[in-house]
Structure 1
Amino acid sequence: MGAQGDNSVATLIAASVLAVSLSSIQNILIVALGLGLVIFFHELGHFAVAKWCDVNVERFSIGFGPILLSWKWGETEYALSLIPFGGYVKMLGQDDADPSQLTSEEVAEDPRSYIAKSVPQRMAIISAGVIMNIITGLLFFAFAFQQGVEVPPSELGTVFVGKPAWEAGLREGDRLTEINGRDVSTFGDIIRATALSSSEYLDVKGVHYDGGEFEARIFPTMNGTRREIGVEPVRGLALAPKEFVPNGDATLAGTAANKASPSFKPGDEIVSLDGEKLDGFAGLQNYLARHRGDTVEFNVKRTDENNKSSDVEITVGPQGFRTLGLWMDIGQIEAVQVGSPAEKAGLKTGDKIVRIDDLDVGKDINPLTLPDYFAERHGQEISVVVNREEKGSGAKSHDLVITPLDIPGWIERPSSPNTPLSVQSIGIAFHMIPTVLKVQEGSPADGKVKAGDQIQQVELVLPKGTEKPDIMDKLDPVVIELNESNRNWMYAFWQLQVANSRDIRLKIARDGSTPELVTLTPTRAEDWFLPTRGIMMSLLSVSQKAGSFGEAIQMGVSHTKNSAFDIYLTLRNLITQNLSVKELHGPIGIAKVAYQVSQQGIAELSMFLGFLSINLAVLNFLPIPVLDGGHMVFLIYEGITRKKPSERVLIAATYIGMAFVLSLMVLVIFLDVFVHGF
């Protein structure tokens, strides 16, 4: 509202709290058109109610700044202005650029001026834009749900080892249904509930992959900008499409799946394994893990360019681990899962496992094989000896007995830096110390690496003459540092399994001498098999579609309420610093949203416009001068005291509000350019 009115203010704030990680800047026109539509409805609300109250509306503008195009119809000038991120309705007696008009007796004498109207009438005019945005936001949502919106479900994909969700006992394939009393149905609900919660913990309810219901308490951690619990969305049973995989191949080079005959094709949907129907990605993972040493028959559904489908049988052999022949020292236990066999047996964070049954860890048994060792002995009592640091007495030995669960080893993988190795059958995770304890005879490291060597760095190197990038998406070596703050031996070992065509170059420190570089070509183990076969899968999405117009409206109402609530939670968490301002985005971020939605279809575009409408409604009604909420505060004051605020107060408040909003605009644009790198 006003000559400068809402203009870009509320819209840019709305853009800021979207906090979405987005792709490259494109389709600015879609942004302008989308924002123009949202702004149009907002200003239309002000305009319509002002006319209904017989106020002289001097100008109705979409955009602000220099006028590009205008025409006059009746007493009102309709304009299209240069900058599309906003709009305004200019009324006689209401001008944010000249707040003194609100107290002008001369202007008030005109019965058609804004300030000549009663307080209830002015409240109706001020709130009309917000109300219109709520209504149109609801309708945008309803339209989207009537068309059908593809969203990731609330089923968990990767549960990162050692992170809060893992410690609470959550597993891949679990489906969350409730967080802190709020229903969740999408993965986005999980992310928002985690980031926006103000409590120290999350009380969650859900259903395990095996069908059993569970309740858990999770203690989120800050990842630098917002709270997280360490989970990713689940993948489905379809191989990744051609455009999302290197060289158009949905299998990793050099893997069993890559060598299968007939070959896999991008977009293939896995229906069954060895004739056993699959009920999801967790089922696929579990079956392959339990049959890791076997040849498996994949039945896939393949759809050709003419949209005709056919069943294809693909035989995939087992895949051995790529090994170097190095046995590294085991580190202390990093995390223990709640309710796990390890917790019940008395294992604690900080313990170091030194002996299992009659085997010395690191000398008689490779720590890398512990996930399989325990899993293969599920249901049996296993004796474990740990060293535990105790105050005043140093390390003491403790004898414990553990009975593992029937959960395959290596089904959880150290796929990100600083991730420990999970022994899921007993519920512990430990890091590896980059000190070599043993070198196997005849292995790639034999004669090049010695017991006692310290590995300081790992490089994954493509063979000379390689012309095309691999899964790492570059030809240069991938460098992984190993030190106290970068406990990355497990991560490096897993990357060795992913980048099958790469050799390993180790930076080794020996007996205090100058570090030397050693290049090794890994070999595949003949009796130790991966639970994976080298297939890249797509993320799973489910359709949220209303069965009737009434249901679409109902879903729209629910989404509107949740969106508004989330905005208030976002603002609260920004104030309490539970959410970093670095999560904010500005107008360039909106351009990236437009790029995303323009690629996904009309339903997703409608969802975006609905969410932006609710953002605009809620944020524009905050009690900040120059915003509608600020105007409403002054009207409430006038209604209670029966007198208008003084011109001095109005001018001061207006300048303070403008300064705040302009500062916020500068901040989010700075973040867009220099932090998010847009």
Structure 2
Amino acid sequence: MEVVLTSLLLGTLTGKIANIAMVALGLGLVIFFHELGHFAVAKWCNVKVERFSIGFGPIIYSFKYGETEYALSIIPFGGYVKMLGQDDVDPSQLSSEEIALDPRSYSAKPVYQRMGIISAGVIMNIITGMLFFAFAFRLGVASTPCIVGTAVPGMPAWESGIQPGDVIHKINGNETTSFMDIIRSSAFSDGDITMEGTHLNGEKFEVKVTPDQTGTRPQIGLLPAQSLQIPVYQDSNERITSKGTAAAKAEPPFSQGDTIKTINGETIENYAQLQRTYAAKSSETLKTGVVREGTPDTEIVEIEVKNNPFRTLGLWMEIGPIESIQKGSPADRAGLKVGDKITHIDGQDVGKALNPLRLPNYFSGRAGETIPIVVNREQDGAQPTEVNLNVVPLDNPAWLEHPVFSNTPLAVGSLGVAFHLIPTVLKVEEGSPAEKAGIKPNALIKKIKIIYPDNETAADWDPIPEVTYEFDDKNKNWANAFWEMQVRPGWPVELTFSQNGKIVEEKLNPWVNPKQKPDDQWSLPVRGIRLQSLREIQKADSMGQALGMGVQYTTNSAKDIYLTLRSLITGRVSPMELSGPVTIAKVAYEVAHDGYAQLLLFLGFLSVNLAVLNFLPIPVLDGGHMVFLCWEGITRKRPNEKVLTAATYVGMIFVLGLMIFVLYLDIFLRALS
């Protein structure tokens, strides 16, 4: 047993070391080719190259060959070629008369040659980026197709009626090739975007969507679909089901590489159908048929998976006004409006007789019936008025659209409405954790922290962290916090609430109401199976086609970088979206898991990124040098030494400041989030 375990550990460790080596080599190549461009053209122009360095700062290792010192430096965030008469750290060299007299100095060369030397690094990165892309497409690149996995409640795409399983064919008249086209179009569009596609039922649609700009970048709220296959990990002990869920207790257990084929004997064609089936039959024990990796499709293994009951605190919260309504939905047709507050359904008080969290189930269970509702509607300059309406719900499963993000409202999919919950307690269930903690109606919830179970740590639940939500006018997170309790079964919560003028803190253990019958439990629409992302392979049939795809991908990547910079300047995209070297290395390591093609694709994008950013007109960067050379070429005079020195130091401060900022984002925000 020890021999087998040791072999597995060594295999995993060897795989990780190999991935790290691949990433280091790849990132090193991107930097190397950039500096090689400067070096090669400088040599061609007979400029003396004093040092060729990969990295900055103190030198770790170096050797001299001919007149050039080749060095590896300690800070691996770039590199440099130090030429006689050109030094970013000492710009006064450009105007030194002694160096200028040396015919092999950079500063002694004509402007066109110096332009060639400066631009060579960028040109080399464009060429190598294109080649990286071409080789990746020749091997076959896995991309995410434009199939909707989730439409986030309350977001523009959800409001426009886009549903899980919908396929997006065109955006603004342009054919889509991957899900990145949706993200790109949302982030960089100056206004509305038009999307054409096909619903899951085969109907064509065309909708106009206005991206939401309240976050760090414009987005419309769509997430890609997953496949029906459980991932295969390098580590055989990696979890494939969420701890504590029904899937983790299934018999027989799920295995890595399993592909879901049937549920209760009915064929499952795609992820959207799987979602709907699990949601529609949420309280039932289901037989999930899978095909094991390496076995014929006809050999189906049936796995019995029980339901996942909702865990609650026993609190009924006040319903908030309607935040958003889907176009063409039953709510839209019935005359409901954003801002309406639902007070009664079928004559029952919402919040005291009906739990607002149960409304998705209530309306889903009454599909096709005419249901009377009463809403309070705000009036300009007058008291709210009571409006009586009738709605006819669609046959959409409850909680199919769950509030997975902060400030996501709770959606009632069968009506097409979404609302927040106000953290004011209207009712406390008898015998519930909330009642035992002494919480009374009219208490105001201030904060909830979902913490690890006693005697368990982050290692036991990796990668699921503890989470804290505060509630106020801006942070309307009760629905999201409630959902996060569900994906952390067995976790206690620390609740802070205001009651009778006092702030109280209590620790509660969420419960499954024992009064619920097993066959009629309020259950989650998911079972806890982890599925891998849906991917399709884009592969060139020949090297010629691969080069063509590489050129196109290079052009699109450069355009994306330009649009990102423009959006950063105009404020459409937040600087918080930037990534630094730590994130770049982390992403490179992750894509290395997916094989050489994905790593080559990433390195290609990094090469183009380096080319575009290096040619920005910022002193210290290649683009800044090009600006000075253009000035010299036009005026026939070298830049003033004081101006040149000042500009160089300003550029250096800017670049160092930017580096510190992105390192802060990498280490203190993303690493701790």
Q: Give the TM-score range, shorter chain.
A: 0.7 to 0.9
Looking at structure 1, the residues matched to 150 and 159 of structure 2 have their Cα atoms a distance apart, in angstroms, of 14
Say whether residues 1:350 and 2:342 are aligned partners: no
Deviations 1:31-67 (A, max 9, x none): 6543332222122222333333444444444344455
Q: 2:225 aligns with which of 225, 230, 234?
A: 234
Q: 1:130 aligns with which of 112, 122, 126?
A: 122
Q: Structure 2 vs 1, CA of residues 244 and 566 (structure 1 numbering), >3 Å: closer, same or farther?
A: farther
Task: Write out aligned runs for 1:604-615 (5 A).
Answer: 604-615=598-609
Deviation at 1:352, TM superposition (A): 1.2
Deviation at 1:519, TM superposition (A): 6.2
**1:575 partner SS:** helix
Q: Structure 2 vs 1, CA of residues 340 and 625 (structure 1 numbering), >3 Å: closer, same or farther?
A: same
Looking at structure 1, the residues matched to 79 and 498 of structure 2 have their Cα atoms a distance apart, in angstroms, of 65
Deviation at 1:589, TM superposition (A): 3.4
Deviation at 1:623, TM superposition (A): 1.6
CA contact (8 A) 1:144 1:606 kept: yes
CA contact (8 A) 2:558 2:609 kept: yes
**1:645 partner SS:** coil
Q: 2:578 aligns with which of 559, 584, 587?
A: 584
Deviation at 1:334, TM superposition (A): 1.9
Looking at structure 1, the residues matched to 250 and 91 of structure 2 have their Cα atoms a distance apart, in angstroms, of 75
Q: 2:523 aligns with which of 530, 537, 540?
A: 530
Say whether residues 1:273 and 2:266 are aligned partners: no
Say whether residues 1:43 and 2:35 are aligned partners: yes
Deviation at 1:339, TM superposition (A): 3.2
Looking at structure 1, the residues matched to 477 and 348 of structure 2 have their Cα atoms a distance apart, in angstroms, of 25
Q: 2:389 aligns with which of 397, 400, 425?
A: 400
Q: Which residue of 1 aligns with 2:6?
A: none
Looking at structure 2, the residues matched to 470 and 105 of structure 1 have their Cα atoms a distance apart, in angstroms, of 64
Deviation at 1:285, TM superposition (A): 0.9
Deviates more, 1:607-616 or 1:398-407: 398-407
Deviations 1:509-561 (A, max 9, x none): 66668858576742263335536352322231413332322222222112211
**2:227 partner SS:** strand
Task: Write out aligned runs for 1:434-445 (5 A).
Answer: 434-435=423-424, 437=426
Q: Structure 2 vs 1, CA of residues 161 and 93 (structure 1 numbering), >3 Å: closer, same or farther?
A: same
Q: Structure 2 vs 1, CA of residues 279 and 70 (structure 1 numbering), >3 Å: closer, same or farther?
A: same
Deviation at 1:566, TM superposition (A): 1.6
Q: 2:533 aligns with which of 529, 540, 552?
A: 540
Say whether residues 1:147 and 2:136 are aligned partners: no
Deviation at 1:312, TM superposition (A): 0.3
Q: Structure 2 vs 1, CA of residues 537 and 650 (structure 1 numbering), >3 Å: closer, same or farther?
A: same
- Give the letter aligned to residue 565 of structure 1: K
Unaligned runs of 5+ in 2: 1-15
Greater relative contact order (Cα < 8 A, sep 6+):
1
Task: Write out aligned runs for 1:105-504 (5 A).
Answer: 112-179=104-171, 183-195=175-187, 197=188, 199-222=190-213, 225-239=216-230, 248=239, 250=241, 252-253=243-244, 255=246, 257-292=247-282, 294-303=284-293, 310-317=299-306, 320-322=309-311, 327-435=316-424, 437=426, 452-454=441-443, 456=445, 484-501=473-490
Over aligned residue pairs, what C-alpha RMSD do you find? 4.1
Looking at structure 1, the residues matched to 417 and 635 of structure 2 have their Cα atoms a distance apart, in angstroms, of 66
**2:593 partner SS:** helix
Deviates more, 1:568-577 or 1:95-104: 95-104
Q: Structure 2 vs 1, CA of residues 358 and 273 (structure 1 numbering), >3 Å: closer, same or farther?
A: same
Deviations 1:316-361 (A, max 9, x none): 4555545666654432212212332322322112211123344443
Q: Which residue of 2 aligns with 1:70?
A: 63
Normalised TM-score (structure 2):
0.83
Q: Which residue of 2 aligns with 1:20?
A: none
- Give the letter aligned to residue 538 of structure 2: Q
- How many residues matched? 650
CA contact (8 A) 1:292 1:531 kept: yes
- Give the letter aligned to residue 133 of structure 2: F
Looking at structure 2, the residues matched to 208 and 414 of structure 1 have their Cα atoms a distance apart, in angstroms, of 22
Deviation at 1:426, TM superposition (A): 1.9
Deviation at 1:90, TM superposition (A): 3.7
Deviation at 1:396, TM superposition (A): 0.3
**2:228 partner SS:** strand
**1:546 partner SS:** coil
Deviation at 1:506, TM superposition (A): 6.6
Normalised TM-score (structure 1):
0.82
Deviation at 1:104, TM superposition (A): 5.6
Looking at structure 1, the residues matched to 204 and 429 of structure 2 have their Cα atoms a distance apart, in angstroms, of 46
Looking at structure 2, the residues matched to 459 and 81 of structure 1 have their Cα atoms a distance apart, in angstroms, of 45
- Give the letter aligned to residue 614 of structure 1: V
Deviation at 1:252, TM superposition (A): 4.9
**1:235 partner SS:** coil
- Give the letter aligned to residue 350 of structure 1: G
Q: Structure 2 vs 1, CA of residues 115 and 246 (structure 1 numbering), >3 Å: closer, same or farther?
A: closer
Q: Structure 2 vs 1, CA of residues 470 and 266 (structure 1 numbering), >3 Å: closer, same or farther?
A: farther
Looking at structure 2, the residues matched to 57 and 98 of structure 1 have their Cα atoms a distance apart, in angstroms, of 16
